[in-house]
Amino acid sequence: MAPVLLFLLAYLVACGIARFAVLARIKAGGTQIHSYYTGMPRIMRWTGSISEETVKRIVEPMLVFLVGALVLQGNVPLGTYLMLAAGGLFASVNLAAGFDRTRALDMHDAYLDQCNTVERFRQMHGQ
């Protein structure tokens, strides 16, 4: 069987295991995590004090790219796929982080606007 197909099989098995773990946690009455949360990176065990966001934005894509470059020596299709996937992962996670930052800034601006409105309201009513 081609290494790319073995990788696909391993990926599908990992997705199934993750899905069953979520279902088991929910059935056991565990906490429901945000629906867009991608999970704790397994490599966080070895990254020390690096934040989860940095691991997802930088470390994971770099690791996948390096593994792809190494695999490329023995299997071009799989190595190429991993390197392209690393680029996609980098772009996806960094875009999501940018959107989250924009949302947080918008919330902060709305908070400041509301504080200003409350202050004007108080001045209107002599408080």
- Cα 40 to Cα 86: distance, rounded to the nearest angstrom: 18
- Cα 50 to Cα 72: distance, rounded to the nearest angstrom: 29
Mean pLDDT within 14-39: 83
Q: Residues in the chain, how many?
A: 127
Predicted confidence (pLDDT) per residue in 12-23, tens digit: 999 899 888 888
Comparing CA positions, the residue from 67, 66, 63, 56 lying closest to residue 91 is 56
Predicted confidence (pLDDT) per residue in 62-79, tens digit: 999 999 999 999 999 999
Lowest mean pLDDT among 35-39, 59-63, 75-79: 35-39
